[in-house]
Chain A
Amino acid sequence: MNLWVLSGIAVMVAGFALRRINPLLVVLLAAAASGLAAGLDPLALIAAFGKAFNDTRYVSAVWLVLPVIGLLERHGLQERARSLIAGLKGATLPRLLTGYLLLRQTTAALGLTSVAGHAQTVRPLLAPMALAAAQPADEAEAEQVKAMAAATDNVGLFFGEDIFIAIGSILLMKGFLEQQGIVLAPFDLSVWAIPTAFAAFAIHALRLWRFGRGRQR
């Protein structure tokens, strides 16, 4: 067993811990460490990384939503989101974020993972609404509120999407098991995402409630 192929992991951990080196460079160095340890020659390694980069362009293509988000912000979408929440009496931070969590989980469970997201909804809508509901006293508190808004979007997405039968992870599991001679319907797998979906909602909603209470004091 060639343990040197693990060197890429060590490079990643060290590089992210050091914080001084640009993470993009750390990623390239990690690929070089593991790839060379596995006996790939340098040119083949560059080509392999280049092919992978070209094949995964869809990851960065989502930035095409930025001009329209920027346009809406230029015309005051964030201000509008803030005044909407400021005008509602019962709109506390825990209620707002718990409502969003529920909405995000339910839509993701129906397969609608892209209807919300950090660029589409968190930055222009949810974060300003959360700030208006929380009324943070200083910059540090505002950071916490914004980070919690982003975290809530992630929790809602991750623990909703696996209930949908045609999502990537379900198909991956089905494919893997099928190769081993175990045939399952997607529904058999997705039904087991339901208990965790409820647990995720309960745990995160409790944290949101305590987050709101901790800030009141």
Chain B
Amino acid sequence: MIGLAQVYIVAGLIFAASAALSVRDASNPKRWVNAAFWGLLALSMVAGDRLGDLGNGVLVIALVAVAALGGLGRGVVPDDSASRKDRSARHGNRLFLLALVIPVTVLVGTLLFKAVPWLVDAKQVTLVSLALGALLALGIGLFWLRDRPVAALQEGRRLLDAVGWAAILPQMLASLGVVFALAGLGKVVGNLMSAVIPDGSRLGAVLAYGLGMALFTMVMGNAFAAFPVMAAAIGLPLLIQHYHGDPAVIAAVGMLCGFCGTLMTPMAANFNIVPAALLELKDRNAVVKMQVPTALPLLGFNIALLYWAAFR
């Protein structure tokens, strides 16, 4: 059955190729650091299940040590804008067709693979489709554009180097969330939150729940981690059981308050920090800053919706 294991092998091979190509990049003074970083990540992808928990822990420490002590570098990227323009004119809109191969594969794969659970792990259809789409687009692209596979891997490595250590920040933060949960952090925050609500104030409880979802999401970087905590501390005992609010509204709109928090925090690295790196922005927080003026009024809307719609 095709599932995560196969996707991890594809990703691992790409990271391994990036490590190998880093070594050969003489223009990068830190080429060995980059090679070690992508090499360790390749090892995690390909062999993570065989390393054991402690082994994986040591691997993480090594990854962080390489990034924090060594510091990843970037080689000189040759200016090929003239040849890009030239090729762009030659290939024309065919390039858009190739760019569409990934989304179309994801679309078709998401719909079709659910019908063949013996072939593709039903829980992982999206990621499997994405990997398949990327490989399909790569194959067609290499054939159509008449280029060598190593050229694609080289370009992929340059993009990866542009993202740098931020490439694993989302995974690190997801792991931190697991450790926080293990340490019982959610219960403590929930207790503190329920202690600050004034007695008998329905509006106070709604405000504490909505703002609490947004704030705790900002801390955890993820509304999924904040929801069980805030729902157990305020949503369920106060809003649903005490004030008899509509559970569907309280759960659904509470979660959306959390999404407003996601827009405002560097902790949601895959949405906020990684794109800044991908777009090569100077300010790491440029995307967060751009999102705050949308997130705040929307949070206000959500809290008002909670207040009016849950207690009709």
Contact = CB atoms under 8 A, between A and B. Distances in A.
Do A and B interact? Answer: yes
A153 B99 CA distance: 17
B182 to A, nearest CB: 6
B197 interface: no
Interface of B: 4, 7-8, 10-11, 14-15, 41, 44-45, 48-49, 51-61, 63-64, 67-68, 80, 84-89, 91-93, 95-96, 98-99, 102-103, 106-107, 110, 124, 126-127, 129-131, 134, 137-138, 141-142, 145, 147, 151-156, 158-160, 163, 165-180, 182-185, 188-189, 191, 219, 223-224, 227-228, 231, 236, 240, 247-249, 251-253, 255-256, 259, 262-263, 266-267, 269-276, 278-279, 281-283, 286-287, 289-291, 293-294, 297-298, 301-302, 305, 309
B51 A56 contact: no
A48 B179 CA distance: 7
Contacts, number: 408
A24 B60 CA distance: 10
A74 B151 contact: yes
A153 B259 CA distance: 14
Given A5-B188, A59-B171, A65-B130, A192 B248 contact: yes
A63 B167 contact: yes
Contacts of A3: 188
28 contacts: A12-B267, A28-B61, A38-B182, A46-B57, A47-B57, A50-B51, A51-B56, A53-B56, A63-B15, A66-B14, A67-B138, A70-B158, A71-B141, A71-B142, A72-B137, A76-B95, A80-B95, A118-B275, A147-B281, A154-B272, A159-B256, A159-B259, A170-B252, A176-B227, A177-B251, A189-B251, A203-B297, A204-B294
Interface of A: 1-3, 5-6, 8-9, 12, 16, 21-25, 27-28, 30-31, 34-35, 37-38, 40, 43, 45-81, 83-84, 111-116, 118-125, 127, 143-144, 146-151, 153-155, 157-159, 162, 168-170, 172-173, 176-177, 180, 182, 184, 188-193, 195-196, 199-200, 203-204, 207
Task: Describe B's contact surface by its main secondary structure.
Answer: helix
Contacts of A151: 263, 287, 290-291, 294
Contacts of A6: 185, 188-189
Contacts of A200: 294, 298
Contact of B99 (A51, A58, A122, A124): A124
B179 A75 contact: no
Given A60-B167, A74-B80, A143-B283, 12 more contacts: A6-B188, A24-B67, A53-B172, A54-B44, A63-B11, A72-B137, A74-B87, A147-B283, A176-B231, A182-B240, A189-B248, A192-B249
Contacts of B153: 67
Contacts of A146: 279, 281, 286
Given A66-B159, A147-B281, A203-B298, A162 B56 contact: no
A80 B252 contact: no
Query: Which interface residue of B85, B247, B290 has the most chain A CB atoms within 10 A?
Result: B290
